[in-house]
């Protein structure tokens, strides 16, 4: 699918001002979806990758969103964050899903 210069998605992917705004909107919508259900992480990865200029950058955006989710999660734990490393099996699932699910969603950039 080739994008014409008049398309909105082409404009979002090429013009820096619109690109930053689109990433912020996609990340906020993604956080809202992930707050409700874990499949929101997949949708969020797809949203942030959709505005990426290339497939590789879309995957990197997915990883970046996953890291941001981990930081927000750690901050939301507050004082209990000090006890998290002792919960090793659960921590592996948390880190794996926070990084893997947005990357899975970002693979849709290869289609669009």
Q: Residue 57: pLDDT band by 50, 70, 90 thresholds?
A: very high
Q: Residue 93: pLDDT band by 50, 70, 90 thresholds?
A: very high
Distance CA 2, CA 37 (A): 33
What angle in degrees, to the nearest 10, is found between the helix axes of 16-36 and 55-77? Answer: 50
With beta carbons less than 8 A apart as the criterion, state whether 72 and 27 touch.
no
pLDDT in tens, 7-32: 888 889 999 999 999 999 999 999 99
> What share of the chain in percent tops pLDDT 70?
95
pTM: 0.86
What angle in degrees, to the nearest 10, is found between the helix axes of 55-77 and 88-106? Answer: 150
Q: Residue 87: pLDDT band by 50, 70, 90 thresholds?
A: confident
Is 49's pLDDT higher than 70?
yes
Closest CA relative to residue 43, chosen from 55, 22, 28, 21: 28
């Amino acid at each position: 699918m080739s994008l014409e210069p008049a398309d909105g998605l082409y404009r979002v992917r090429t013009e820096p001002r619109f690109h930053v705004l689109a990433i912020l909107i996609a990340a906020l919508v993604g956080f809202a979806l992930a707050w409700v259900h874990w499949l929101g992480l997949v949708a969020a990865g797809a949203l942030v990758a959709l505005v990426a200029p290339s497939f590789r950058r879309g995957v990197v955006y997915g990883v970046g969103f996953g890291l941001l989710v981990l930081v927000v999660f750690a901050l939301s734990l507050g004082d209990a964050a000090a006890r998290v490393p002792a919960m090793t099996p659960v921590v592996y699932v948390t880190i794996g899903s926070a990084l893997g699910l947005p990357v899975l969603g970002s693979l849709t950039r290869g289609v669009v």
